[in-house]
Amino acid sequence: MQFDLSSEPRRTQKRPQVAIRVDYCPAISDVPIRRCLAIAEQLREQRARVLFVTADDGVTPYIRGTGFGCHLLDSDWRDPEPEVDVLIDYLEEEEIDILLLDQPRTTPRYLMHLREAGIRLAMLDDVPRFPYDVALLINPLPEDRRADYMAFYSEASEPTETAAEEPEGDEEEESIPDVPDPAQIRFLLGPAYQPLSAEFSRSRVLEWRRESAPLPNIEIPVQPELASESKLKDIQTNAPLRQAGLEPIRELFLTLAGADPGGMVERIVTGILRDPELKDVHIHLYCGLFFRVTEKLQIFLEDGRVFLHHEGEESPARLMCQCEAGVAPGGHVLYEFCACRLPGVSFYMSDAQRGDAAFFAAQGLIPCAGDYRDDWKDCIAEIIRELHTINRLGADGRVALGERAAELIDGQGAGRIAEALLALQGENINE
């Protein structure tokens, strides 16, 4: 199924053609879509035609209004192999020979069929799983994953003692992917390749920080059945009063980078607003498209203590730049904090988020409050204690911490990836 969300015509002259295969996976949040959109923006800046390809319509709310086309495969993102022939037919029809994949369920045979069809492949990866047969392999996480990738290629190339079994009767022998040569793969590894939207570039961030426009409160419907039944008891922080002469935090950014099926936002907001030192802050909640407000959150909204900002209706970079501290799970958002010079506190609620949270904590930039799954009350108490520390830095101390963070993340990762993708085509796009 084709949803033509693109305002641009088909190519009338030779230009790069790139497809991006990505899905909305509720368990992973909307980060894959956001980072793919950031790369797509940079590709378009360099005259490339970009089309999104997705299993179902979960991505279309994010793509709508961007000017990019979106093609639905009507497949299951959990099992991508059955879709590969349909995908190849579509890419050939659209004359696309470069495909960027951001799919955690990709398989070796899936890649093999695409390569055999002459598609030049790039993989945007987080956790190495097998020896990827691609031309370009991107992992923007801070850990040095090169050794992990090379181990997969090395192990796959070792001969096995067990001979392949002959197929019985008329049964066709299923093709086995060849072991890729890592020397033929270009690796883009590390936070320099973290794909952030153009609004997180240094020039735009400085522009946002100079702004002083008021932050709006955006209403969305309440869904009472999602209200959390858990009640957070008072947290004994034993924190002293605000230090004299230091400007306290007034505006606090909070996000879970997606939906909130477990009522975590309500618990975190309640803990912060019941703390004596932080009870007067305004919490700016940046939520995904599928987030629903609980009854208790609605009370905070009506009291003017929490402000809701829905994705697509508010610039996250602008919002971060107008806040003085932030709270978010490990992952993509922490890089955005650094680009926006926003001091923050992290936590994690999945193993995939642990690496980023640990990295920024080790750098002394964004402390980590631990694993929310182990004991959510202890995790929230630690978030509050770390916010106390940021609060007592004062305005000057928070600015200095933010400047240190900006030295690590420059917001140019998406542009670097776009250039590497276009190099796969081997043509000078400026001609």
CB atoms within 10 A of CB 173: 9
Query: Which H helix or E strand runs over 255?
Result: strand 251-255
359 and 221 within one domain: yes
CATH at residue 144: 3.40.50.11190
Task: Please state the domain count of the chain.
Answer: 2
pLDDT of residue 36: 95
CB atoms within 10 A of CB 213: 8
Give a yes or no: residue 31 inside a domain: yes
Scored b (16 or more CB within 10 A) or e, 322-346 reads bbbbbbbbbbbbbbbbbbbbbbbbb
Residue type, 198: A
Residue 168 makes CB contacts below 8 A (sequence gap 6+) with: none
Give a yes or no: residue 431 inside a domain: no
pTM, two decimal places: 0.79
132 and 268 within one domain: no
- What string of H, E and C letters represents the secondary structure of 85-146? HHHHHHHHHCCCCEEEEECCCCCHHHHHHHHHCCCEEEEECCCCCCCCCCCEEEECCCCCCH
pLDDT of residue 155: 85
pLDDT of residue 143: 79
Mean pLDDT by 10 residues, the chain (431 residues): 52 77 77 92 95 91 88 92 95 95 92 95 92 95 86 78 51 66 93 92 84 47 34 36 65 83 88 95 87 87 91 85 95 93 94 89 96 95 97 93 91 95 68 38
419 and 306 within one domain: no
205 and 191 within one domain: no
Owning domain of residue 330: 199-408
How many Å is the maximal CA-CA distance in the chain? Answer: 85
* Beta carbons of 246 and 341 less than 8 angstroms apart: no
Using the structure block, give the residue that is written with the tokens 């996000």. Answer: 255
343 and 208 within one domain: yes
Phi/psi of residue 120, nearest 5 degrees:
-85, 120
Q: What is the pLDDT of residues 149-194, one digit of tens each?
A: 999 888 877 765 554 455 555 545 556 677 788 899 999 999 999 9
pLDDT of residue 156: 79
CATH at residue 338: 3.40.50.2000
Residue 322 makes CB contacts below 8 A (sequence gap 6+) with: 208, 209, 211, 213, 215, 251
pLDDT of residue 27: 59
pLDDT of residue 108: 93
Tally of residues, the chain:
431
Distance CA 431, CA 118 (A): 24
